[in-house]
Amino acid sequence: MPERNFSYHRFIYTLLGVGFLVFSGFVYTQAVPENNHVISPKAVAGKMLWQQHNCSSCHQLYGLGGYLGPDLTNTLSTKGKGKNYAAAIMKNGTQVMPNFHLNDTEIEALLAFLEQADKSGNNRVHSYEIGLDGTITSEGETRK
| Per-residue pLDDT at 1 | 47
| Per-residue pLDDT at 12 | 92
Among 139, 125, 39, residue whose Cα is nearest residue 78: 125
Average of pLDDT values for 119-132? 71
**pLDDT one-digit tens code per residue, 98-111:** 999 999 999 999 99
**pLDDT one-digit tens code per residue, 62-77:** 888 898 888 899 889 8
Average of pLDDT values for 15-20? 95
List of residues 6+ apart from 12 with CB closer than 8 A? none
Which pTM value belongs to this model? 0.62
Distance CA 24, CA 131 (A): 54
Which of 74-78, 81-85, 118-122 has the lowest average pLDDT?
118-122
Measure Cα distances from 69 to 25, 60, 87, 131 in Å. Answer: 47, 8, 15, 20
Distance CA 105, CA 44 (A): 13
Measure Cα distances from 139 to 64, 68, 74, 128 in Å. Answer: 18, 18, 20, 6
Average of pLDDT values for 21-42? 79
| pLDDT-derived band at 81, boundaries 50, 70, 90 | confident
- pLDDT higher than 90, residue 80: no
Q: Does the domain at residues 41-130 carry the CATH identifier 1.10.760.10? A: yes
| Per-residue pLDDT at 122 | 72
